[in-house]
Structures are given as structure tokens and as C-alpha cells.
């Protein structure tokens, strides 16, 4: 159904083709949560300041509360649910667990997507680069130290996997 008030939106999300008809004004965060049933993406501040709603759209982290679902029609999206693979948790998810990089968990999905994108751009970031790369993500529970440790842990695991694959 497509009219002035509704649009058909189709995406590949976490490797699966999905579509839904939504109101034209539907935000991506609501499309993901309410229409596709993927509730790992959180909805937080309503002002695009907190970053809890970050998802990857065509390989780029994006605050899903700042974009209409219709604007990503045809895109490839990864949410926190899509970080894990057949072999289990991704290095970033494992790092958050191993290094206690979460407390209440509310910011964790957006933080993990942003951290994963950071490591895609910079596989061996310094502490300063990690803090800068996650500067759009707010956590109200931690001092970020364990989050930085988790990203460092994930970077090391990714490096080990890369070195192991090349030998």
C-alpha cells in the first residue's frame, strides 16, 4: 500500500530481506522496533543526543531517531542482533562481556554498533581514538573506562583472527 500517508519500506536487516508499510513520517528506530520486531535497538532521548538508537546503515553508524524509515528503503542495516554470527558473539559483544563494558545495558546496543564501526575504520585505535570515536554515545552508568577496555579487547581479538586467517 502506497499513498500520500503511507510508504512501503524494504531493507535487508541483519542479512534478512524485510519490508513493511508504514506511515510516511515513521522514524527508522520505530520501523525497526515496532514494525520489524527487533527491540535490541533502543529509543532514548528524542533529541539525537544520546546515541542509544545507533544502527549501521550501508556500513555507516547512524542515529535511527534522526532518519525516516522511507529514507533507507533498499539499504542494508545491521542492529545489535546482527553483530553475532553463526560462531557466536562478535568480538565487540564478547569484549563488553569480558571487560564489564556495560552496567544497566540501555546504551549498550548503540555503543556496540558505534564501536564496531570504529574498529572497521581503525582496527587498532588508541584510547584517545576510542574515546573520540564513541563521543556521540552517552552512558549514564559508567565512567567509560570499561567500555574503552572492551573496545581494546575486541580490537585485539579481531587482530588475532586476522593474523590467524592469514597464516
Question: pLDDT of 147-161, one tens digit each?
Answer: 999 999 999 999 998
DSSP 107-165: SHHHHHHHHHHHHHH-SS--HHHHHHHTTT---SS--SHHHHHHHHHHHHHHHHHHHHH
Asked if CATH classification 1.10.150.120 holds for the domain at 91-166, the reply, yes or no, is yes
Chain-centre distance of CA 48, in angstroms?
14
Q: If you average pLDDT over residues 50-75, what whole number do you get?
A: 96
- Cα radius of gyration (the chain): 16
User: So what's the pLDDT on residue 167?
Assistant: 66
User: So what's the pLDDT on residue 158?
Assistant: 94
**Domain residue spans in the chain?**
6-82, 91-166
Question: pLDDT of 1-46, one tens digit each?
Answer: 556 799 999 999 999 999 999 999 999 999 999 999 999 999 988 7
| CATH of region 6-82, choose from 3.10.20.30, 3.90.1150.200, 3.40.50.970, 2.40.30.160 | 3.10.20.30
Cell of 12: 535487508
Question: pLDDT of 75-128, one tens digit each?
Answer: 999 999 999 998 899 999 999 999 999 889 999 999 999 999 999 999 999 999
The terminus-to-terminus CA distance of the chain in angstroms comes to 53
Amino acid at each position: 500500500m502506497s499513498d500520500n500517508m503511507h510508504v512501503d519500506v524494504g531493507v535487508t536487516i541483519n542479512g534478512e530481506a524485510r519490508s513493511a508499510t508504514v506511515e510516511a513520517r515513521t522514524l527508522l528506530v520505530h520501523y525497526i522496533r515496532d514494525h520489524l520486531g527487533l527491540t535490541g535497538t533502543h529509543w532514548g532521548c528524542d533529541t539525537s543526543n544520546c546515541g542509544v538508537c545507533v544502527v549501521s546503515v550501508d556500513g555507516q553508524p547512524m542515529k535511527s531517531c534522526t532518519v525516516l524509515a522511507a529514507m533507507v528503503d533498499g539499504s542494508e542495516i545491521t542492529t545489535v542482533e546482527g553483530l553475532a554470527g553463526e560462531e557466536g558473539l562478535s568480538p565487540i559483544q564478547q569484549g563488553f562481556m569480558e571487560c564489564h563494558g556495560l552496567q544497566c545495558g540501555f546504551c549498550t546496543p548503540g555503543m556496540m554498533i558505534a564501536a564496531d564501526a570504529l574498529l572497521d575504520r581503525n582496527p587498532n585505535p588508541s584510547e584517545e581514538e576510542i574515546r573520540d570515536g564513541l563521543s556521540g554515545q552517552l552512558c549514564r552508568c559508567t565512567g567509560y573506562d570499561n567500555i574503552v577496555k572492551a573496545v581494546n579487547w575486541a580490537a585485539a581479538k579481531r587482530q588475532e583472527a586476522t593474523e590467524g586467517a592469514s597464516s
